[in-house]
Amino acid sequence: MKLVLGRDDLAAAALSAAREAGAEPERIGVKPVHKASRGFVNASDTDLCELAIVTVLQAVAHGRPVLLLPVTTLGRHQHQTLVTLGGLSVADVEGHSVGVRAWSQTTGVWVRGFLTEQYGIDLRKADWTTYEGHHVDGAEDPSWVTRAPEGTKLPEDFLAGRVDFGIMGNELPSDDRVRTAVDNAHEVAEQWSRDQGFVPVNHVVGVSGAAAVEHGAAVLAAYDAMRSVLTAQEEGGPVPLHPVGFEGLRAAFTKAAAYALEQDVIPRAVDYDELVERTCTALGVAPSRLGG
């Protein structure tokens, strides 16, 4: 049983629990962890894999045997990831160029959703550039999005002024000129989460359909162990950063799925209950077993 998890504490808990459940788990080290997504989604080369939530939605929409294990491995606010170098602000996105690593990158999906919903931006009135393809084979960028030349990198283009805005999370370059396009971005992000009742989740855990059948007991044990770690670490506050369980993730997935459909990231609507049913059917459990 092969596992790819970015966090050491969650990986250790999952490995121990799966072993006690009778499996022979092995952690596969992949950094950054999103680079494991393509092999997992398209070839099921691992059994349990940390995935971005938009990758889960895209995989399901394209008929891949990917199941959601409702554990948040990375939750964070997102408004601060829209950055610029000059005097532009979020109100100036229309008519300017915006770079994002991949059209299906979850951070980009969240930010574009904020742009349309909070700021009234028409996404098609901006000049969008992507730098990578999708994790899911068969997925394509919309016709109104341009792919950068092979070998080009967003941070370099951004710092050189070849794009006016960048959507960058972990890849944000360290440069004193960089500023958030949204004023008081962290405060705005926190207020958004309070209003919505959830944090814009980035990464969760995926399970292959075959692994759910072959290693069902170990998968459930790994879920229990990771849930225990996150529950013990959760800080107080109005909105949990790392929700666990089907109901805990319902709001974030539902909003992300709506944004993804509006942005031509997924070819069809994906209802959250479809994800719940797929997982529960494969593992042979009721939704309540996984926090639903």
Tally of CB atoms within 10 A around 89: 16
Phi, psi of 36 (to 5 degrees): -80, -10
The strand pairing partners of 75, in sequence order, are 201
Name the token pair of 256.
């992300």
CA distance to 13, 83, 105, 163, per residue, from 153 (Å): 36, 16, 15, 11
In the block, tokens 């926190």 appear at 190
What tokens appear for 199 in the block?
């944090």
Whole-structure pTM value = 0.96
CA distance 219 to 237: 30
The gap from C-alpha 237 to its chain's centroid, in whole angstroms, comes to: 22
Q: What is the pLDDT along the chain (292 residues), one digit of tens a residue?
A: 999 999 999 999 999 999 999 999 999 999 989 899 999 999 999 999 999 999 999 999 999 999 999 999 999 999 999 999 988 999 999 999 999 999 999 999 999 999 999 999 999 999 999 999 999 999 999 999 999 999 999 999 999 999 999 999 888 888 889 999 999 999 999 999 999 999 999 999 999 999 999 999 999 999 999 999 999 887 667 888 999 999 999 999 999 999 999 999 999 999 999 999 999 999 999 999 999 8
Q: How far is CA 262 from CA 60, 253, 257, 267, in A?
A: 17, 14, 9, 10
